[in-house]
Chain A
Amino acid sequence: MDENDSPLTIDIPNVPKHLRITGSWVNSNRIGIYKKLAKGSSEKYDPTVYILRPDIILFSPQLRKLVNESNGVFLSIQKIKSVSGDVRPELLKHSKQYRSILRACIESLQDICGKCLSDKKESLENFLTIFYQIECVWHLIEILYVDVVPGDVILPQLLEWIRFHFPSRELVAVKILAQKTIGADLEYPNYWEAVIGCALHGKLDLVRALLALHSKADHPAFVMAENVLKTMPIYNVYGGYSIDGFTTCWKRWQLELCSNLNSKAFIVDTNLEMIMKLIAGEQDMLWQFSQYTDAWYELLAAKLFYTSPCCKQPELSLHANNISKRWQANRPSDNAIRAVMESNLHRVIKEIQYMGDNGWFAAHLVDLLYACGKLKILDRDQVEVSNQLHESLILEYGNTLMGHRSLWQCGASYLIHCPVQGLARLEILLQSLPMGSEARVNKILDIARDNKMDHIVTSICKIQGLKSMKQGRLGNALAWALKAQDSGFTTYIADQFLKRYAEYGELDCRDLLENLGFCMMASDRLTFLGKYCEFHQMYSIGEFKEAASLLVSLLVSNLTPKYFWSILLSDAIPLLEAKDVILSSSDCFELLRCVEAHGDDLKFQNKIEIFRLAVARNLARALSLEGCQVEH
C-alpha cells in the first residue's frame, strides 16, 4: 500500500467524544459491527449497536450481469489452463470476451442512465466512469501482454486502441463528410477541431477528405498538404520494407515537409500550417493541440505516429513517462496505463485496485495474465510472489461474492480455484450461509460434496435435522440424520421416537419407518425402532407368528434400550395368550430369562405376575405340542 493512502473513514452517527466504541467482525464476511461503551459511570449509556457493511457495487442489478457472465469466462479459462500446447490464441479470445462483456455492461448502463431519474443517475454515471476506465486499461493490456504484435511494432495497435476509446472527433468528421458540403469550414464551427482530432489519431484519410471540403481546397497550400499527406510513408510489417528502409524513406519525406514549412508554404491558413507542423513532428505543436485530447495517451499516440512510428514496446515507457508527467495525469486509470506502458505489472495491479470495482478487474485480469504466463511479480526481496498475488486477488473477489444472498454459488466457483486457501475459506463460508428452503440447502450441500467436504455435509444435514425437530417433524429430522450419515444423531432421533411411543403409545411417522430399507442399519437404535415398527405392522395385519418371532429376536438382540424393556415384555403377553400356540418352549425360556434380567422396571411391576403366568401357560401348551410333534 502506498504512503499517500489515507485510510477509509466511516462516520458513525451520534458518537459523542466521551464514548468508546468497539468493533468486532460479524461472522459472515466483511461485516463489521460496532458497539459503544460509556466511559465513566457518570455518562449516559447508549444502547445502540451498529452493523456496517461495505457497499458492493457489483451487487447492483445492472452489474450482476457482468458478474455472472464473466464468471463463465473465468471458469472457461480454468479449463484452458490444464490444456497443453499453445493456448495464447484461446486466451486472446477469452480476453476479448471479457471486453465484450464490459462493453455490453457499459452499453446497458448508458441505456438505463438515459432513462432514469437524477438521484440514481449519479451512481450509474459513477459505474460508467469506472467501467470505461477498466475497458480502456484492459484493451491496452490485451495489446501489450496477451496479443502477439507482429514485428513488435506497437503503433498500429496503439492507434486502434486510441481510436476505439476516443471516437467522438472521428464521428464529427464522418458527419461533416456525409454532407459533402464544399466550404465545410464555414458551415461547421467544429471543422478544425475534427481535422485536428483525426490528425492526432493518425486518421490521415479522414484528414485528407476533410481538407478537400475546405473552402480554399483549391489553393496551392491545400493541394500541397494533400500531396504531403498522400505520400506520407506508413509502416506496415507486411509492407515489404525493413524498419531501417522505412525509416530512411520516412525521414526523407519529413525533411521535405520541414523545408516546405520553412518556406512558409502553408501560411495561407494558420490551422493548416499548425497541422502540418504537427505532422512534421514538432513537439510544441503537439502540446498546443493537447486541448483537443481527453487523455495524455491520445497525445502519446500522436507523438509516436509523427516522431517515432517504429517504436517498440521497450521504448514506449520513456515516451509515456514524458507525456504523462507533463500532462500531470493522476487518475487511477492514468497511473495504471502509464504502468502498463512501463511494463510494470506490479504497479498496474496496485493501481487497478483503486478503481472502485470491488476487485472485479484485478481478479480477472491477473488470472488472465497468470494463464498467459505473463505474471511475474517480485516482492521487495526479489522473491517471486505471483502465485500468492494471483490467489489473494481471486480469494478476495470470491469472498466478496460469497457475502451476497444470491451470488454465493458464483463466489464459490472462484474460491474452488484457489489452490492454497480456497477450500479452507469455502468451508468456513459455506457454513455461514443462511439456510432457507431445503432446495437451497441441497444446493449448498452439492457444493460441499463436490469439494469432498464430508464433515460440512454432515454438519449442515445435522443442523437441518435439528431444525426439523424444533418444528416437531421427527420423521424429517430422521431423514436428514440419515443423509448426514451421523449415527449418533440417528440414535438420538430413534430414541425420541421410542420415548414418544413409551409415553403416548403411538408410533409416529409410520410411512417413513416402514420404508427404511437398509438404512435401518444406520444405528443400532434405529434398527431396533425399525424392527419394532415391523412388529407392529405384522401384528396389525394378523401375522402373529411373524410378529412373535420378530419380538423374540428383538428381545435377544441386545439392542433394547433400558426404558423400553417393560414395553417389549408387555407386548409379549397377548401373543402368549393367543388361541394358537405361537411361541415355542425355547422362546418361553428366553422370555423368562429376559423378565429375570429386565423385569424390575417399576412400570412393569403390575404386569409381572400376569407375564409369568402367561409364560407358564404358554410353556405348558408349547411343551405338550412339541412333545406330540416329537412323537409323530
Chain B
Amino acid sequence: MVSVLNTVDTGHEDMIHDAEMDYYGLRLATCSSDNSVKIFDLKNGSQSLVADLKGHVGPVWQVTWAHPKFGNLLASCSYDRKVIIWKELGEWTKIYEHNGHDSSVNSVAWAPHEFGLILACGSSDGSVSILINNGDTWDTQKITNAHTIGCNAVSWCPAIEPSFDSSGTQKNGPIKRLATGGCDNLVKIWKEEGDRWIEEDKLEAHSDWVRDVAWAPAVGPSKAALASCSQDRRVIVWTSNDYTSWTPTILNVFDDVIWNVSWSLTGGILAVSGGDNKVSLWRENTEGQWTCISETNKGQGNLNNTDQRAL
C-alpha cells in the first residue's frame, strides 16, 4: 500500500515545473512559471513556507539542493537565461547570479559533494556551463555547442574511486564526468581533463529530443548506468564497464512522451514520468530484466498488498 504522506499546497500562481526535497527529506523546494522559487518545511505531515524567492524574471524550470556540508544552498535556472544560487544565511539570500547563457537555462545539477561545490547548467543556447566555487568567488568553465539547438538535461556521474574506473588516467582522485541530453537526439558523456571538458562519448539511440538524463547512484562495484528519456517515447538504460563502450537497453516504449527519469537514492528503482499521466517505477531483477513494479495512475483505486519483488 502506498499513501499520501504530505499534500503541499504551494500557492504558486502558475504551473509548477520542479519540486525537489533536500537531503534529509525535510524541506521541499518548488519552482514555477510564476517566476518564483519557494521553500517549505515539512514536519509531521504539515508544511510551512520558509521562503518565497524572487529573482528570476521568467518561468523557473528547475531547482536543486546542494549537499548540506556546504550549508543550505539551492540553485535555480530559468527561461530568463539566469542561474541563481541561493543560500540560507539567517534569511534566504541570492549569493550568486550566473548570466553566461544566451538562451533559456533548462537544467541545473550539483556535482557529487566529493568534488566540492560545483554546478552544471544546460541551456537552450546549446552550451553547458560549469560553475566552480572558490570560497567567495565562482569560476566558470564552458562547453560550447554541446548540443545543437539546445541542451535539455545535465546529470553528474557519481564520484567513483579510480581503482574501479579502469580508464582513469588521472592519479588524483575520481574523474569528473557529466551526461547531457539535447535536442539533437543525443546523450553525451563529458569528462574533465585539466581545466577542459572533452566529449568522451556520444550515445545515439533516441530518434527525437532527449528530455532527461539521470546517472544511477554508484552502489557497489557494479557497472556504470545511465537512464535517458525522450520525445520518442522511449526510456533507455545505458550501461558500461569502462565508460568507452555503452550498451543501450530499451526499458520500454511508452504510449506518450517521457519527460522525466529519476533514480531512487540507492539506485535500483527508476521512476519514469510521461505525458500519459502516469508515473511508473522500474527495477532490474537478478536476471537483468527491467520490470515495472508499480504504476501511478488516475482513477484506478484498490491496492493490493504487494510491494516490490526481487524476482
Give the distance in Å from the alpha carbon of A362 to the alpha carbon of B307 in the complex.
13
Q: A414 vs B40: C-alpha distance in the bound complex, in angstroms?
A: 33
A8 to B7, CA, bound (A): 21
Cβ contacts A18-41/B at 8 Å (1 or 0 each): 011111111111111111111000
List A contacts of B309 (CB < 8 A).
1, 350, 353-354
Are B279 and A32 in contact, with the CB atoms below 8 A?
Answer: yes
Q: Which residues of B contact A5 (CB under 8 A)?
A: 306
B residues in contact with A459, CB < 8 Å:
67, 69, 113
Whether A54 contacts B264 in the complex (CB less than 8 A), given A19-B277, A26-B25, A428-B217, comes out as no
Distance A385 CA – B23 CA, assembled complex (angstroms):
34
Nearest neighbor of B261 in chain A, beta-carbon distance: A24
Interface residues as binary, A387-398 with B (CB distance below 8 Å gives 1, 0 otherwise): 011001100100
CB neighbours (8 Å) of B90 from chain A are 470
Complex alpha-carbon distance, A31 and B266, angstroms = 12
Instruction: Given the known inter-chain contacts A8-B303, A9-B300, please indicate yes or no for A396 contacting B259, CB distance below 8 A.
Output: no
With an 8 A cutoff between CB atoms, is A261 at the interface? no
Q: Is A52 an interface residue (CB 8 A)?
A: yes
B103 interfacial contact with A, CB 8 Å: no
- The answer to whether B2 touches A37 (Cβ under 8 A) is no
Within 8 A of B (CB), among A121-150: 126, 130
Report how far A103 CA is from B296 CA in the complex, Å: 36
In A1-23, the 8 Å CB interface with B consists of 1, 5-13, 15, 17, 19-23
Complex Cα spacing A356 to B307, Å: 7
Q: Which of A93-101, A185-193, A419-427, A606-614 contacts B (4 or more CB under 8 A)?
A: A419-427
Chain A binding surface SS class: mixed
CB pair A12 B298 closer than 8 Å? yes
Q: Which of A311-319, A430-438, A581-589, A594-602 is found at the contact surface with chain B?
A: A430-438
Q: Beyond A9-B302, A389-B310, A399-B266, is A31–B71 a contact (Cβ under 8 Å)?
A: no
Alpha-carbon gap, A384 to B286, bound state (A):
10
Q: Does B53 contact A (CB under 8 A)?
A: no
Least distance between B112 CB and chain A CB atoms (Å): 11
A24→B265 contact, CB < 8 A: no
Inter-chain contacts of A165 with B (CB < 8 A): none
- Tell me if A510 counts as interface (CB < 8 A to partner B): no
Closest to B89 in A: A470
B98 to chain A, nearest CB (A): 23
Q: Is there contact, CB below 8 Å, between A52 and B2?
A: yes
B99 to A: closest C-beta gap in Å: 27
Interface residue B218 (Cβ < 8 Å from any Cβ of A): yes
Interface residues in B14-56 by Cβ distance below 8 A to A read: 14-26, 28, 30, 32-33, 42
- On chain A, the number of residues with a Cβ less than 8 Å from chain B's Cβ atoms is 82
A32 and B265 within 8 A (CB): no
Contact with A along B197-230 (1 / 0, CB 8 A): 0000000000000000000011111100000000
Chain B residue at minimum C-beta to C-beta distance from A458 = B69
Complex interface: chain A residues within 8 A of B305 (CB): 126, 130, 354-356
Q: How far is the CA of A424 from the CA of B164 in the complex (A)?
A: 14
A27, A50, A392 pick with most chain B CB within 10 angstroms? A27
Q: Contacts of B278 on A, CB cut-off 8 Å?
A: 21
Q: Which residues of B contact A552 (CB under 8 A)?
A: none
Q: Output the least CB separation between B286 and chain A (Å).
A: 5
Contact A392 B15 (CB under 8 A): no
Determine if A1 and B311 form an interchain contact, defined as CB atoms under 8 angstroms apart.
yes
Q: Is the CB of A21 within 8 A of B293?
A: no
Question: Does residue B140 face the partner (Cβ distance < 8 Å to A)?
Answer: no
Is A11 touching B277 in the complex (CB atoms < 8 A)? no
Please, how many angstroms separate the alpha-carbon atoms of A27 and B309 in the complex? 21
Q: How far does the alpha carbon of A32 sit from the alpha carbon of B3 in the complex, in Å?
A: 10
Q: B287 contacts the other chain (Cβ, under 8 Å)?
A: yes
Q: Looking at the complex, which one of A13, A38, A434 makes contact with B26 (CB distance below 8 Å)?
A: A434
Asked whether A49 and B24 contact (CB < 8 A) given A7-B280, A389-B286, the answer is no
Chain B residues lying within 8 Å of A349, measured Cβ to Cβ, are 310-311
Q: A34-B296, A459-B69 are in contact. Are A380 and B279 (CB under 8 A)?
A: no
User: Shortest Cβ distance from B5 into chain A, in angstroms?
Assistant: 4
A353 touches B310 (CB 8 A): yes
A contact residues around B217 at 8 Å (CB): 428
With A36-B16, A48-B7: A9-B275 Cβ-Cβ less than 8 Å: no
Q: Is there a chain B Cβ closer than 8 Å to A429's Cβ?
A: yes
| Chain B residues with CB under 8 A of A46 | 15
Taking the complex as formed, is B148 at the interface, i.e. its CB lies under 8 A from any CB of chain A?
no
Q: Which residues of B contact A21 (CB under 8 A)?
A: 273, 277-279, 296
Asked if B9 and A10 sit within 8 Å, CB to CB, the answer is no
Shortest Cβ distance from A44 into chain B, in angstroms? 9
The residue on A at minimum CB distance from B281 is: A32
Within 8 A of B (CB), among A342-365: 346, 349-350, 353-356, 358-359, 362
Q: Smallest Cβ distance from A620 to chain B, in angstroms? A: 45
Tell me whether B295 is interfacial, beta carbon within 8 Å. Answer: yes
B242 is an interface residue with CB less than 8 A from chain A: no
Question: What residues on B are CB-neighbors of A350 within 8 Å?
Answer: 309, 311
Q: B10, B23, B293, B298: which contacts A11 (Cβ < 8 A)?
A: B298
Cα-based distance from A45 to B15 in the complex (angstroms): 5
Contact of A25 among B8, B67, B271, B297 (CB under 8 A): B271
The answer to the question of B194 belonging to the interface, with a C-beta cut-off of 8 Å to chain A, is no
A1, B289: Cα distance in complex, Å: 10
Contact B265 A432 (CB under 8 A): yes
Rounded to whole Å, the gap between the CB of A23 and the closest CB of chain B is: 3
- In the complex with contacts A24-B273, A35-B19, A420-B220, A51-B286 CB distance below 8 A: no
Contact bitstring A434-456, B, C-beta under 8 A = 1, else 0: 11000000000000000000010
Q: Check: A47 CB closer than 8 A to any chain B CB.
A: yes
A258 at the interface (CB under 8 A from B): no
Q: Tell me the complex Cα distance, A473–B301, Å.
A: 51
Selected from B23, B33, B279, B287, the residue in CB contact (under 8 A) with A23 is B279
Contact yes or no, A7 B23, CB < 8 A: no
CB of A379 within 8 Å of the partner chain: yes
Chain A 517-568 interface residues, beta-carbon cutoff 8 Å to B:
none
**Is B260's CB within 8 Å of the partner chain A?**
yes
B292 at the interface (CB under 8 A from A): yes
| Whole-angstrom CA separation of A21 from B276 in the bound complex | 8
Q: Which residues of A contact B13 (CB under 8 A)?
A: 45, 47
16 contacts across the A-B interface (CB closer than 8 A): A1-B285, A8-B306, A11-B297, A23-B272, A24-B20, A27-B21, A28-B24, A32-B271, A32-B279, A32-B296, A34-B273, A47-B10, A49-B16, A362-B310, A421-B220, A455-B114
Q: Report the 9 A-B pairs with minimum CB-CB distance, sorted nearest first.
A: A356-B305, A23-B279, A421-B220, A8-B294, A24-B262, A28-B25, A424-B219, A7-B295, A55-B1
Residues of B within 8 A of A (CB): 1-26, 28, 30, 32-33, 42, 67-69, 71, 88, 90, 113-114, 217-222, 259-260, 262-266, 269, 271-273, 275, 277-281, 285-287, 291-311
> Given A1-B293, A8-B293, A429-B266, 16 other A-B contacts at CB below 8 A?
A1-B309, A9-B296, A10-B2, A10-B297, A13-B4, A28-B21, A28-B25, A31-B21, A49-B28, A51-B6, A349-B311, A428-B266, A432-B23, A432-B265, A459-B69, A463-B68
